[in-house]
Amino acid sequence: MKNIKNINDYNFNEKVAIIRVDFNVPLDKKLNITDTTRIDLGINSIKYVLDNGGKCIIMSHLGRPKGNGYQKEYSLKNIIKYLSVKLNREICLVDKYFSDSFSIQDYLIKSDIILLENLRFYSEEKQNDLKFSKKLAAMADIYINNAFGTSHRSHASTNSIIKYSKNYCIGDLVYNELSNINKVLFDEKKPFTAILGGAKVSDKINVIEKLIDLVDNIIIGGAMANTFIKSKGGKIGKSLFEEDNIIIAKSLLKKAEKRNVKIYLPEDLLCSKSINDYKTKTFNSYELPNDYSGFDIGYNSIITFKKVILNSKKIIWNGPMGVFEIDEFSNGTFEICKFVTEATKKGAFSLVGGGDSVSAVKKNNQENNISFISTGGGALLEFISNGTLPSLELLDN
């Protein structure tokens, strides 16, 4: 990422910038925003352009609309009021911008700041369609990517638009993400501990492989730990695991051992007979009865993980330790959150990314006690695995 330009490399005076943001915020049933973080973090670059005499065209996706065309619950109308208050300006929302007769100039005469309706109302966006991205690029003088969380996707607004833009750069949010991820991965501080959780090993094979080259410890929790425990011959009862990844899990454990990287798997699990049954029992994680499933890490695992985390100087955390959405199985994840914040207060550098881990941090009101909260989940894991993301790579020349 050596040659990537950032926003202060350009003079925006009398220029039009088209900014890809990630304003994919959660909405409740009444279509009110329940968490404004993505907008709050994404607007600085918009302000920068406006404050420097430029005009802004903002584009984002929201949710996962089904098929083509307008759908009320995914409309950016739902966020425009909040955005307009935050920017202290009137914003013009434009819906049908992919027709030959459409002219952005007509709108730019009336308004300095324009919001294009949900990109995913056009199937061309996800298809990385060249006609669509060319049209987007032609609206502006400079393209800015300020959407780290979607930069692992090769979509028209993140990827092929770069081919048609003469000038392009990253915004402050992406810049902050890249500096902090590089800091956690490559600063000299040691010991370095990665904490991984969640259900799917398949999503995390590449990242574990890469982390083995970089870290001292890897703590693995959540259902993905079951695949590793099973690969070591453990009896995991009815717990969720991935049969197809047992061999890979085994080879990752071997690779870690060779490199002297310690992998910590849960030694005990909080179990019950089904996800709706809260008559829980704790078992040794290698000896679960056939009719039980593990839904959270147990007390002894928490104590062991605590020691490792509190002794760390750099920490990266992605994924819950159990089914943390259910109170009865949330303790392990919330305890990990507590230890990461305690380690941070003692001077460790901590980076947390991924929807579930970030939501655990927020539920515990610990946002200010984590060194950096990434807006990326999949993007974060892919960046760690490959050292770049497809859409950022195109900006790096």
Q: Which residues are catalytic?
A: 38, 200, 355, 378
Q: Is the dihedral of CA 91, 144, 9, 181 positive or negative?
A: positive
Q: Which is nearer to ligand AMP, 34 or 101 (CB)?
A: 34
Q: Which is nearer to ligand AMP, 171 or 322 (CB)?
A: 322
Interface positions with ligand AMP (CB under 6 A): 198-200, 203, 222-223, 240, 294-295, 319-320, 322-323, 325, 356
- At its nearest, how many Å lie between ligand AMP and the CB of residue 84? 34
- At its nearest, how many Å lie between ligand AMP and the CB of residue 200? 4
Chain position whose Cβ is nearest to ligand AMP: 198
Asked if 159 and 189 touch (Cβ cutoff 8 Å), the reply is: no
- At its nearest, how many Å lie between ligand AMP and the CB of residue 338? 18
- At its nearest, how many Å lie between ligand AMP and the CB of residue 323? 4
Sheet holding 16-21, edge to edge: 92-94, 113-116, 55-59, 16-21, 142-146, 167-170
Contact partners, residue 161, CB within 8 Å, separation at least 6? 18, 20, 133, 136, 137, 143
Asked if 320 and 222 touch (Cβ cutoff 8 Å), the reply is: yes
Distances (CA, A) of 191 to 46, 185, 316, 337: 38, 12, 12, 18
Q: Which is nearer to ligand AMP, 171 or 237 (CB)?
A: 237
Q: How many CA atoms lie within 13 A of 173 on its CB side?
A: 28
- At its nearest, how many Å lie between ligand AMP and the CB of residue 122? 27
Distances (CA, A) of 121 to 26, 69, 112, 126: 18, 5, 24, 10
Q: Which is nearer to ligand AMP, 129 or 242 (CB)?
A: 242
Q: Is the dihedral of CA 27, 30, 32, 35 positive or negative?
A: negative
Q: Which is nearer to ligand AMP, 144 or 270 (CB)?
A: 270
Contact partners, residue 332, CB within 8 Å, separation at least 6? 221, 270, 296, 297, 298, 301, 302, 320, 321, 322, 324
